[in-house]
Amino acid sequence: MEDTGTPETGRSRRERPAKPALTRDGIVATAAAIFRSEGLAKVTMRSVAKALDTGHASLYVYVRNTEDLHAQVLDVELGSVSLPGTSRPWRASLVTLLLDYGRVLLSHAEIARMAIRTRPDGPNYAALVEAVLQQLDRGGVTGQTAAWGVDILLQYPAAVAAEHGGTSPDTAPPGAAGRPAAPGFTTAPDQYPHIAALADQLFSGSPQARAEWALNVLIDGLIAATSRTTDRRN
């Protein structure tokens, strides 16, 4: 029987190139491309399916839902985080790693907010967690303290980036903590005496310096928690 083609194209099916096979990696790469060009709101199962010239129901074989798709997009973006080795002191390596994580999140306000509510399960996120644990282990922070400490250390850059994401790197460096949003309080020293007394300190320091200070405070807390756990066991 003669192949007269399809109603849509008028071309023989034999002449049409075969579609590439769907894969999870291909779906995620397409979703990441849509995110970079149009924003996270445009990353839907239907938009990705349209870009791949397939039905959206076909995607559910490879990704659970839109939330899973967004988590994988976040994981792709985390591929640009620079992971440290073991040549530098562990604390400096850890702070630099966390600041670079914040830099990546700051570049996209949408993924910064997503990083707080979504936990990726892709290779880049796993590499990030592994790198944090590696540096903590080098510093003697191990066991439950390290396991729970990962969440604390990653939440700080994510929270800062969610607040300041999308700002220029010149005005909000990686991990920028920003400034308190209530300078008017200092005009009522009788009502807010402690704020008035510390007004200069409250608004001092560059965002970079404040971020490094905050991360070191968190790291100091994990070291102290490790020491307390060791003392109880002894």
**In a shared domain, residues 85 and 53:** no
Q: Which domain holds residue 109?
A: 81-233
**In a shared domain, residues 116 and 50:** no
**In a shared domain, residues 149 and 229:** yes
**In a shared domain, residues 128 and 56:** no
**In a shared domain, residues 95 and 144:** yes
- For residues 51-69, average pLDDT: 92
Per-residue confidence (pLDDT) for residue 164, from 0 to 100: 79
d(CA 210, CA 204): 9
**In a shared domain, residues 22 and 117:** no
Within a domain: 73 = no
Provide the percentage of residues in the chain whose pLDDT is more than 70. 79
Tell me the per-residue pLDDT of 157-212, one tens digit each, with 9 for 90 and over.
Answer: 999 988 876 544 444 444 444 454 455 666 678 888 898 888 888 888 888 899 99
**In a shared domain, residues 181 and 142:** yes
**In a shared domain, residues 117 and 226:** yes
- 226 contact partners, CB below 8 Å, separation of at least 6: 140, 141, 142, 143, 145, 146
Domain with residue 27: its CATH number is: 1.10.10.60
**In a shared domain, residues 86 and 138:** yes
**In a shared domain, residues 54 and 100:** no
Tell me the per-residue pLDDT of 13-41, one tens digit each, with 9 for 90 and over.
Answer: 445 556 778 999 999 999 999 999 998 88
- For residues 125-152, average pLDDT: 96
